[in-house]
Amino acid sequence: MKSFFLNCQSYLLNINIDYNPAKRVAEGSVNRKEAGSDMLGSMFRSGMVVFIIMLMWRELAVEVEAQARKLAADEVKALHEIARELGKRDWDFTKDPCSTHSGWIHTETDPMNLYNSTLICNCSFPGDVCHVDSIFLKGQDLPSVLPPSLVKLPYIRQVDFSRNYLSGTIPPAWTSTKLEVLSASINRLSGPIPKYLGNITTLRVLSLESNMFFGPIPPRLGNLVNLEKLISDMTNSEKMKSWSNGGTEFSYVDTDLIFFVGDYSVLNANYLTGELPQALTQLTKLTEFRIGSNNFIGRIPNIYGNWTQLQKLQISASGFEGPIPPSISSLTNLTELRISDLNGGVSQFPFLRNMKDLERLMLRSCNIYGEVPAFLSDLPKLRIIDLSFNRLVGISRRFTSTHLEKM
């Protein structure tokens, strides 16, 4: 800021505001044409002076306001506790956490979005006080536990502690927060998925992928009515490992690289069992539902009736049995449908005629039998299709259209 004012001062000193073109004509030092040009130049320089003065005033006002607004003292104390609980050692408490100093703001470019160390404040409150809005500590090698003291930040909305070495579970105290985004993926969290997570009804994003959670999905997660996506599957980069607890061996997934984008719930890369709870039908804002590579039991659940906004449905290698429920045909907003590796009974080809936005279709190893329906070739946006490992006939006859990219 100091250098900015010095540069402006230097510029102003070099501008001759008292320049008089008419006087120079009378003296004979310039002709009238040159004087007119000089007059325009003089007017331009005068305008620049006014502009620079206004800019200087604006910059000064912004800096004064920023210096006046600081993080509430009780939240600074809470951040000290959170740092101890996480094992975060490089927060610079000599600077105000709501300042723009590098100790609190991640400034390095990371195209793959694997690392982040940023604290974001909301300074729009009345008075000269700011509050912590978001904490992003992604890929920071944090060795401890998720911080119970997070509850002492009353305005916190978003936390991302993914890609660390955090153990334990999600603190019960967090249920009193108004969190909208909670990401703790790719850590060492373990035990059953806590039932009390269903009490954080403000959640839009819940990412617990690639930890060591096991057991059934608690029905209480059906209370998370603001979730837009629910994902519980693996990616190609995952590798099964195992650990022992009291003589009982559990499996989990070690994921080298997983990305997530958007508002959703992620439970993938854990060791989940049992049936999917019917309470999930309450998640009426879902736009994406993916489950895969788990050990669920029973038939594919018929829980889609209320998911009228669903755009992507993936059920793959999760232990479910066929047949494919006919209610899937009511999901007319689907752009992507993937079902694979069903056990048990045979299925007829599902009725997909009304899925005019469908772009990707995979029904692989689903024990589907019979003729490939003619309506598939009439779906205008269908680009990729996989019907392998079934008992279908007439596949090549149905697909002569050039708009398919892969079959």
Token duo for residue 180: 């909208």
Asked, for residue 11, whether it belongs to a domain, the answer is yes
Token duo for residue 381: 């946006």
pLDDT at 245 over 80: no
pLDDT of residue 88: 96
pLDDT of residue 14: 52
Gyration radius of the chain's alpha carbons: 31
Q: Is the dihedral of CA 151, 155, 158, 161 positive or negative?
A: negative
Helix (H, G, I), strand (E, B) or coil at 279: helix
Mean pLDDT, rounded, of the chain: 79
Banded pLDDT at 181 (limits 50, 70, 90):
very high
Element (H, E) at 315: strand 312-316
Q: pLDDT tens, 91-121?
A: 999 999 998 776 788 766 667 778 999 999 9
Asked, for residue 21, whether it belongs to a domain, the answer is yes
Asked, for residue 220, whether it belongs to a domain, the answer is no
Lowest mean pLDDT of 123-137, 162-176, 234-248, 349-363, name the range.
Answer: 234-248
pLDDT of residue 242: 34
Per-residue burial over 305-340, b if 16 or more Cβ lie within 10 Å, else e, is eebeebbbbbbbbbbbebbbeeebbebebbbbbbbb
Asked, for residue 392, whether it belongs to a domain, the answer is no
Banded pLDDT at 189 (limits 50, 70, 90):
very high
pLDDT of residue 61: 43
Lowest mean pLDDT of 54-58, 318-322, 333-337, name the range.
Answer: 54-58
Per-residue burial over 351-367, b if 16 or more Cβ lie within 10 Å, else e, is ebeebeebbbbbbbbbb
pLDDT at 37 over 70: no
Q: pLDDT tens, 274-332?
A: 888 889 889 899 888 878 777 788 888 888 888 989 999 988 877 889 899 888 999 99
Mean pLDDT of 335-348: 91
> Dihedral (C-alpha) 91, 95, 99, 104: value to the nearest 10 degrees?
-10
Q: Is the dihedral of CA 167, 173, 175, 177 positive or negative?
A: negative
Residue scoring higher pLDDT (406 or 227): 227
Angle of helix 32-68 versus helix 2-13 axis, rounded to 10: 160
Domains of the chain: total: 1
pLDDT of residue 248: 32
pLDDT at 26 over 60: no
pLDDT of residue 258: 30
Task: Yes or no: say if 186 and 165 are a contact pair by the CB < 8 Å rule.
Answer: no
Token duo for residue 153: 């930040």
Does the pTM surpass 0.75? The reply is: no
Asked, for residue 39, whether it belongs to a domain, the answer is yes
- Full residue range of the structural domain in which residue 40 is found: 2-68
User: Which residues are CB-neighbours of 286 under 8 A, at least 6 positions away?
Assistant: 227, 228, 229, 230, 307, 309, 310
Asked, for residue 59, whether it belongs to a domain, the answer is yes
Asked, for residue 48, whether it belongs to a domain, the answer is yes
Fill in the amino acid letter for 404. Answer: L
Residue scoring higher pLDDT (12 or 109): 109
pLDDT of residue 29: 55
Lowest mean pLDDT of 170-179, 203-212, 251-260, name the range.
Answer: 251-260
pLDDT of residue 403: 63
Please give the C-alpha separations between residue 380 and each of 310, 339, 357, in angstroms, as whole numbers: 19, 21, 8
CA geometry: angle at 378 spanning 375 and 382, to 5°? 105
pLDDT of residue 360: 97
Asked, for residue 260, whether it belongs to a domain, the answer is no
